[in-house]
Structure 1
Amino acid sequence: MRRQHRKTAAFLWPVTAGSKITYNLAEIFPNRIWTNQVLVSLKASSPAFLLRMNQKYGHLRRGIQQPELDDFITACAVDTLKHKKPWLTLIHLVDMDSMRHRYGVRSDEALAALHRLDQRVGRLIDATIEAGTFAQTNFAILGDHYQINVDHMIHLNQAFAKRGWLTPTTAGTVKNDWHVWAKSCDGSTYVYTRNFADLKTLRTLLEQTPGVERVSDQQTAQARGADPTCRFMVEAQAGYYFTDETNRAEVVEAVDPDSLGQPDRYHGVHGYDPLKPDYFTTLVLNGPSVKENQTIERADLIDEAPTFAALLGVKFPNALPGHTLLDALKGASHEAD
């Protein structure tokens, strides 16, 4: 797209920090004590664009709190769609995700966030009408995951610390002398080993931990597309999720409702196996290149990239994972797959 001198825009789109996007407000958070949100955002985004948008619409924000942050992002995106008319625009709205984490998947707060999301999408569509680009615009509304309600946490690193397999810090993290270490993905977790031979004992411990649904070995995890360097991939039962924490009273404990909203304290999480029952997300397509009134019963998240590439007319030198959703696109042929 850059070679064709096409303008692009992204608003809190994941993994775009430092990207060569024409108008970029990157999703990034400070993770070092010597920096702050303003500095990391300026460095990761298009600085002049970020400053201009914040000058015009910064009054809508309350830091990075929701739902105000999505109000700010929507205003910036509407402004950009109307006045800059990017060829490709990526917009990440997080309000509903945040409310599901805090209050639960089908809570009143999540439902209210869904209504706000609907209104924001309407404003974005209206912006293309006002800009005169609606008739040429293909829209894709998608979620990157669903969520499951939880009420218990599993602290595997606490179990490993009890056995001397790692050393906890006073802050509840892990020193670098570990032999066994768990890295959470919320509904599942990776387990890594280093200079550790007793895999049978480790696997038994994992399988006997309350709330664990399944333990997959390295070969099985790699075949599913997981990190090939992990020793095990562990799946939680519905209602449970993993943390990276140590210095906890128990390996498995209930989530204190008063702690919800604090780091790693949730009422709804994602990160489970995609094959978990009733665990789906959504893709809605509309526009001049999209067939009308089509329903595709099943697809995978990795099918989105080749489908979007087909919509954009973008070709890659190597085949992408997944398959183009040909049944959704006008004029698509199996050569695109």
Structure 2
Amino acid sequence: MAKDLKTKHLIIISFDAVSSEDVSKLKNLSNFKYLIDNGSLITNVKSVYPTLTYPAHATIMTGLYPKNHGIINNTLNKFSDLNPDWYWYRKYIKGKTLYDLAVEKGLTTASLLWPVSGRSKIKYNLTEIFAPKPWQNQLVMSAMSGSVSYQLDLNKRFGYLRKGLAQPELDNFVHESAKYTISKYKPNLLLIHYTDVDTNRHYHGYDSKEANDALIRHNERLGEIIETLKEANIFEESTIVTLGDHSALDGGYMIRLNSLFRENNLLSVDSKGKITNYKAVAKTCDGSSYVYLKDKNDTETYKKVTEILNNVLKSKDSPIEFILNCEEAEKEGSDPNCSFMVEGSLGYYFIDEALGDFVEKVPENEVGNVSHRTKATHGYHPNKENYNTFFMAYGRGIKKGIEIDGGKLINHGPTLAKLLDLNLGNVDGVSEDRILDL
């Protein structure tokens, strides 16, 4: 064990879709209040574009924008696939990650459903991976991408708590697994990803009772993590970081750019709506959407797509807020290989379906039952109003009583690295030294 660590146990807890606006509620919840009163808090943390879970978590681990770490969306660019695989695996990330460096330093690492960590060198790894295809087996896919014996042990002990991806059961499973991992292995770096709030915001709305109840459950989970650290006699040697990856916004209307492209003979589909060929294709990021050309140098198609998108932008009560070209999207940290990035207006989000109306109100009975039918979502530009997230830290190496308004997700990686005396190298962010007591 290296002697120059600022903390012996760094526990990073990602509360998916918990926002900066939620902090006023968290201040009234006992365990979050304890961290805030005795540690440091950063509100209005700007996420990355697109504000999606996988790009954001890769940024937290690398200190890089999506254009530089390579996780430019949640799912892979397989345009003919109605349910493409996600960026599950470490191999997709360009550059160093916090957990790679921790492993290289000889630290004990553990991860519970941390995005984009499949097939990594994390010693105790329950990967976030699911089976989008009917022929895929959930348990087999998980076992092949993580630590087999560790996952079998967790499933044997706590598998009964889970009901597929349903919440709060999934987080209850993750939570019991996290407590067990702390007690048994006392990892130097522990990554935990809870999605209770995110799921409930998607299906019930941003400020729904269900989402607010999930915040209360998160407070209880945080308290139990603290108690488990104390019972393991490592609390005083630990640093607890809780953070969000993005916020969420209510949205009741779906935009089908691919349907518009089909009507304009820019793509073709089969009877099931599967894209069979395209000159231009949209790839959803929920609140925003990439547009790719099959041939990026096809000036005729580029002009046609520009005209189509501009006509939508100029329309009354337009469902899109703005359009970025490739260079502009890259400046925002997004995929440099896209031809356009289209931002949804408030209340609207994108789906990839190429059949159906260009804009459609989300049918109430389809929410939670049909893929991509939600009441609130994210993926928008991080400059949307009231759309930031938070960062909270307590314990070894953290100053007490610091509250900062304004931060950046790209700063988390280098800040966390300093706590373990690691160096991510040349990154887009900078360490938030104002909260560190090193």
Q: Give the TM-score category using the shorter length.
A: over 0.9
Matched residue count? 328
Matched, 1:313 2:421: yes
Matched, 1:277 2:378: no
Structure 1 consecutive aligned stretches of length 4 or more whose deviation exceeds 2 Å? 1-5, 31-34, 169-173, 194-201, 207-210
1:192 aligns with 292
One-letter identity of the residue aligned with 1:119: E
Q: Is the contact made by 2:250 and 2:347 (CA closer than 8 Å) also made in structure 1?
A: yes
One-letter identity of the residue aligned with 1:159: L
Residue among 244, 248, 258 paired with 1:157: 258
The structure, 1 or 2, with the larger RCO (C-alpha pairs under 8 Å, 6+ apart) is 2
CA distance in structure 1 between the partners assigned to 2:360 and 2:391 by the alignment: 36
Shift of 1:208: 2.9
SS at match of 2:194: coil
Q: Is the contact made by 2:267 and 2:280 (CA closer than 8 Å) also made in structure 1?
A: yes
CA distance in structure 1 between the partners assigned to 2:294 and 2:117 by the alignment: 32
Shift of 1:295: 1.3
Residue among 278, 294, 304 paired with 1:201: 304
SS at match of 1:2: helix
Q: Is the contact made by 2:115 and 2:128 (CA closer than 8 Å) also made in structure 1?
A: yes
What TM-score, normalized by structure 2, do the two folds share?
Answer: 0.73
One-letter identity of the residue aligned with 1:234: V
| Percentage of identical aligned residues | 36
CA distance in structure 1 between the partners assigned to 2:270 and 2:306 by the alignment: 25
- Output one character per residue of 1:211-267: Cα deviation in whole Å (capped at 9) or x when no partner: 00000111111111111111110000110000111111x100100111111310010
SS at match of 2:360: strand
For 1:253-268, list aligned pairs within 5 A.
253-261=360-368, 262-268=370-376
Matched, 1:330 2:437: yes
Flag the 1:228–1:4 CA change in 2: closer, same or farther, 3 A. Answer: closer
1:179 aligns with 279
Matched, 1:226 2:347: no
Shift of 1:276: 1.0
Matched, 1:145 2:242: no
Q: Is the contact made by 1:166 and 1:178 (CA closer than 8 Å) also made in structure 2?
A: yes
RMSD (Å), alpha carbons: 1.2
One-letter identity of the residue aligned with 2:421: G
CA distance in structure 1 between the partners assigned to 2:129 and 2:398 by the alignment: 33
SS at match of 1:314: coil
One-letter identity of the residue aligned with 1:99: N
1:117 aligns with 218
1:251 aligns with 358
Shift of 1:193: 1.0
Q: Which moved more, 1:101-110 or 1:162-171?
A: 162-171
SS at match of 2:402: coil
CA distance in structure 2 between the partners assigned to 1:38 and 1:194 by the alignment: 36
Shift of 1:33: 4.0
One-letter identity of the residue aligned with 2:303: K
Q: Is the contact made by 1:207 and 1:214 (CA closer than 8 Å) also made in structure 2?
A: no
CA distance in structure 2 between the partners assigned to 1:310 and 1:239 by the alignment: 40
Matched, 1:96 2:197: yes
Shift of 1:311: 1.3
CA distance in structure 2 between the partners assigned to 1:184 and 1:302 by the alignment: 23
SS at match of 1:70: helix
Q: Is the contact made by 2:414 and 2:423 (CA closer than 8 Å) also made in structure 1?
A: no
1:5 aligns with 106
What TM-score, normalized by structure 1, do the two folds share?
Answer: 0.95
Q: Is the contact made by 2:241 and 2:391 (CA closer than 8 Å) also made in structure 1?
A: yes
One-letter identity of the residue aligned with 2:335: D
One-letter identity of the residue aligned with 1:189: S
1:24 aligns with 125
Unaligned runs of 5+ in 1: 332-337
Q: Is the contact made by 1:150 and 1:238 (CA closer than 8 Å) also made in structure 2?
A: yes
Unaligned runs of 5+ in 2: 1-101, 313-317
CA distance in structure 2 between the partners assigned to 1:253 and 1:64 by the alignment: 27
CA distance in structure 2 between the partners assigned to 1:197 and 1:100 by the alignment: 41
Shift of 1:207: 2.9
Higher strand residue share: 2
CA distance in structure 1 between the partners assigned to 2:311 and 2:360 by the alignment: 15
- Output one character per residue of 1:135-162: Cα deviation in whole Å (capped at 9) or x when no partner: 1111110110000000000000000001
SS at match of 1:323: coil
Q: Is the contact made by 2:251 and 2:346 (CA closer than 8 Å) also made in structure 1?
A: yes
Q: Which moved more, 1:99-108 or 1:288-297?
A: 288-297
2:173 aligns with 72
